[in-house]
Amino acid sequence: MHRAPSSVFTALSAETGKGVYWTLRLWSVAVVSILLLSTCFIASCVVTYQLTMDNPNGRLSERHTNHSSISCWSEGIMVSDKVWSCCPMNWTPFGSNCYFISTDLTFWNESEENCSSMGAHLLVIHSPEEQNFITRILATRAGYFIGLRDPGHRQWRWVDGTPYNANVTFWHKDEPNNEEEQCVTLVYWTPVWGWNDLPCSYKQKSVCKMKKIYF
């Protein structure tokens, strides 16, 4: 019987081994991809199911009215049953809240009505981080009503009822300056953003804020 020289035989076995290796590798990649796709599919089914169960009429709950479309993000590892955080489409997430910039020019009370019709309030600012976040996405040429106003006698009140903390404010220099200016606007006066008291009957753009929606 004719036998292949051993060096040829070794070369052939090495080639076959490489082929098997690459086949196995391709199959592993395919299996992992299928598993990942299946996981995403199941996760999206769960979210859709939750949305449908919570909102049998295809609408979000009462507090989150008028949002036909939302964007959701995974909150990372599941530590509770709240896995997804969502904001209505065209709102910007920051921390546990969503923010909407209204470019309509409206009186302060109309601005608040507009926010509340969307299950939100005019912007309430609680920290320098939040003030910096929002000012980074506003246009420097405009003023924006926020949810702070004075019902009289310089008693500043946040629209959501949270206490006004005089240690966490971002008034422009020499503001507030006029008892007849009972509403507050967020405005850029070179070189800084800050708050200015302004008559509530002036028309401004505005910012709404609402809690993220969790599923």
Question: Where along the sequence are the contacts to ligand 2F8 (CB under 6 A)?
Answer: 175, 177, 181, 196-199, 202
* 197 belongs to the binding site for Ca ion (CB under 5 A): yes
* Mode of pairing for the β-strands spanning 183-189 and 157-158: unpaired
Nearer to Ca ion, 112 or 197 (CB): 197
| Closest by Cα among 184, 186, 122, 68 to 114 | 122
Nearer to Ca ion, 85 or 131 (CB): 131
Nearer to Ca ion, 196 or 206 (CB): 196
Residues paired with residue 102 on neighbouring β-strands, in sequence order: 206
The DSSP code for 64 is G
Pick from 135, 196, 204, 206: which binds Ca ion (CB under 5 A)?
196
Least distance between ligand 2F8 and beta carbon 161 (Å)? 25
* 185 belongs to the binding site for Ca ion (CB under 5 A): no
Least distance between ligand 2F8 and beta carbon 52 (Å)? 49
Least distance between Ca ion and beta carbon 130 (Å)? 22
- Residue 122-161 contact track with Ca ion, rule CB under 5 A, x = bound: ----------------------------------------
| Integer angstrom CA distances of residue 214 from 45, 70, 75, 81, 86 | 16, 11, 9, 9, 6
Q: Which residue is nearest to Ca ion (CB)?
A: 197
Is 63 within 8 Å of 119 (Cβ atoms)?
Answer: yes
- Rounded CA-CA distance 89/60 in Å is 13
Count H helices, E strands: the chain?
Answer: 3, 11
Pick from 112, 130, 150, 181: which binds Ca ion (CB under 5 A)?
181
Exposed, middle or buried by CB within 10 Å (0-12, 13-18, 19+), for 207? buried
Q: Which tokens go with 82?
A: 């709240």
Nearer to ligand 2F8, 93 or 194 (CB): 194
Residues in contact with Ca ion by CB under 5 A are 177, 181, 196-197
